[in-house]
Every structure is written in structure tokens, then in C-alpha cells.
């Protein structure tokens, strides 16, 4: 039954233009960055690919998960199909799991295709084949990204269950993703740096042990956690600082999934179609 619900969800996702729109935006952003770096930062497109493509990819993978999940429940509710689904002898747990898995796997596969292509394209441009350890690190990172995808799908599904209008669900989800969560996670970090009189660019930041009141809010944002993991697994810190260890980042994402998945599921179970 879960498989059938997943199949239906994926069929529905494919019938919308969302993937195409996000694909176009992603391509435009990638080319835009390449041109910008090539012209103004005296870096070639190759350097751009290695230093920024994965940042853009991660941002778009989060966006894709959110855009696919924000109306998975509220959309069906407003169209009335949820009424018919609920009148059938199928458990709410199966419906919820089918929807979650469909969006999670679909986004994961898209990410795998895009990053694999990017990785091998980079190798082709630089004419340097990645070593076995680099490929292993990349695939470890892929599994970490799956965790981030699960975070964002659970997050968006909570608001999809909570609201009665798809537009409200979309706006709230995006505002929380773009503004609120980054603010929550970055603000204590900024305050700490200011208090300590430290500069964001100091290389020795990597050696500082940050207090809990900086670490916990910082961890409450899967985008931050995945950036931290990128640093740990790919040995690269373009957007963040090594505030969290790999284990702490993974644990934070697992807790995030637990909170949002459980809340969304409990709300879905109690969902009354008035």
C-alpha cells in the first residue's frame, strides 16, 4: 500500500512543472555564479565549480524538498482528494509514510543525478580523476545530504498538515527556511564573535571550542549542519565554521527529523476534515 501511495505521489510530482522550474533556476544560478566569478573575481569557471557549485546545489536541494512537500497534504485537502482517500480502508500512517518516502526518495535521486554529473564534469574539466578516498567521501556526503532532505521534507510536511491553504503553507515554509531558521542559528554565533572581539575570517576560528548556547541554535538548521558536514567530510569550509563535529551535525539532523516528522504525523493522525 505504501508503495502504491508513493507511486501515485511521484506520478503527481512529475505531472507538475515544479521540477522544471527549479531545474531552470538552478542552471541559471550556476551559470550566473560562473560568469560572476569569471569576470569579477578573477577566478575561472573551474574554480567556481569546485568552490561554489555544491553550495548552490545544497541550497536548491533544500528548496526542491520544500517545494515538493509544502502542499503534499494541504494541496490534497483543498482539492478534496484527501476526503476520498480518508474514506477508504487505508491507515493514516500508510498515507503519511507513502507521501514522505515519495518526496524524500525523489529529491534524493535528483540530487544524486545532479551531483554525480557535476562531480564527473569537474573531473573532466580539471582532467584529474578523483581518488578512491575522494569518491568515498563524496558518497558519504551524499548520505548526509539524504538526512538533510529528510529534515526539510518533515519540516514542510508539518506546515502542510497544519494549514488549510497551500499558499499559506508555502509562504510560512519558505519564510522559516530563508529567514527565521538562519537567524536563529546564526545570531548567537554572531553575538559570541562580537563579544570575543573575533573576526569572521580568522583561520583560528576552527580551533575555538564554542559554548553550548552557540552550538545548539547553530545545530537547529539542517543547512548549517550539512555545511558543517561538508567541511568535515570534504575538508572544505566555504560557508561555515567548524562549530559542530560530524557526529554532532548528524545527531542534530536526526533530532530535527524526529521533532518535525513526529509532530507532522501526530497532527496528520488527528486531522479532521471539517
Q: Shortest CA distance to 125 belongs to which of 42, 32, 47, 23?
A: 47
Q: Which is nearer to other proteins, 201 or 274 (CB)?
A: 274
Q: Which is nearer to other proteins, 204 or 274 (CB)?
A: 274
What CA–CA distance (Å, rounded) separates 238 from 55? 8
- Minimum CB separation of residue 273 from other proteins in Å reads 5
Contact 173, 89 (CB under 8 A): no
- Minimum CB separation of residue 166 from other proteins in Å reads 14
Q: Shortest CA distance to 68 belongs to which of 26, 20, 112?
A: 20
Here the cell at position 87 is 474514506
- Minimum CB separation of residue 263 from other proteins in Å reads 19
Phi, psi of 97 (to 5 degrees): -65, -40
- Minimum CB separation of residue 12 from other proteins in Å reads 6
Helix (H, G, I), strand (E, B) or coil at 270: coil
Neighbours of 135 (CB within 10 A): 13
What CA–CA distance (Å, rounded) separates 199 from 142? 32
The two counts, helices (H) then strands (E), for the chain are 12, 0
Q: Shortest CA distance to 121 belongs to which of 27, 233, 41?
A: 27
Which residues sit at the interface with other proteins, rule CB under 8 A?
A: 1, 4, 8, 11-12, 15-16, 79-91, 272-274
Here the cell at position 73 is 497534504
- Minimum CB separation of residue 15 from other proteins in Å reads 4
Per DSSP (E only), the strands in 153-215 are none
Q: Which is nearer to other proteins, 84 or 266 (CB)?
A: 84
Q: Which is nearer to other proteins, 83 or 113 (CB)?
A: 83
Q: Which is nearer to other proteins, 75 or 108 (CB)?
A: 75
- Minimum CB separation of residue 159 from other proteins in Å reads 21
Q: Which is nearer to other proteins, 94 or 186 (CB)?
A: 94
Amino acid at each position: 500500500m505504501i508503495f502504491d501511495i508513493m507511486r501515485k505521489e511521484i506520478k503527481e510530482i512529475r505531472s507538475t512543472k515544479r521540477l522544471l522550474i527549479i531545474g531552470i533556476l538552478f542552471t541559471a544560478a550556476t551559470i550566473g555564479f560562473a560568469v560572476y566569478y569569471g569576470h569579477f573575481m578573477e577566478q575561472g569557471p573551474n574554480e567556481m565549480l569546485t568552490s561554489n557549485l555544491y553550495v548552490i546545489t545544497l541550497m536548491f536541494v533544500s528548496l526542491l524538498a520544500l517545494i515538493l512537500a509544502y502542499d503534499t497534504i494541504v494541496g490534497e485537502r483543498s482539492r478534496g482528494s484527501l476526503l476520498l482517500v480518508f474514506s477508504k480502508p487505508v491507515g493514516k500512517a500508510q498515507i503519511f509514510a507513502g507521501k514522505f518516502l515519495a518526496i524524500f526518495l525523489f529529491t534524493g535521486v535528483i540530487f544524486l543525478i545532479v551531483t554525480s554529473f557535476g562531480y564527473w564534469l569537474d573531473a573532466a574539466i580539471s582532467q584529474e580523476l578523483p581518488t578512491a578516498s575522494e569518491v568515498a567521501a563524496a558518497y558519504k556526503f551524499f548520505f548526509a545530504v539524504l538526512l538533510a532532505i529528510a529534515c526539510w521534507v518533515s519540516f514542510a510536511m508539518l506546515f502542510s498538515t497544519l494549514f488549510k491553504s497551500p499558499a499559506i503553507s508555502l509562504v510560512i515554509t519558505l519564510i522559516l527556511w530563508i529567514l527565521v531558521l538562519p537567524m536563529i542559528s546564526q545570531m548567537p554565533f554572531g553575538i559570541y564573535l562580537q563579544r570575543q572581539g573575533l573576526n569572521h575570517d580568522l583561520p583560528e576560528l576552527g580551533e575555538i571550542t564554542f559554548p553550548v548556547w552557540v552550538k545548539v541554535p547553530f545545530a537547529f538548521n539542517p543547512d548549517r549542519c550539512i555545511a558543517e558536514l561538508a567541511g568535515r567530510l570534504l575538508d572544505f569550509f566555504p560557508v561555515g565554521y567548524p562549530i559542530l563535529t560530524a557526529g554532532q551535525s548528524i545527531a542534530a539532523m536526526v533530532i530535527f527529523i524526529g521533532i518535525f516528522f513526529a509532530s507532522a504525523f501526530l497532527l496528520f493522525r488527528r486531522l479532521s476534515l471539517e
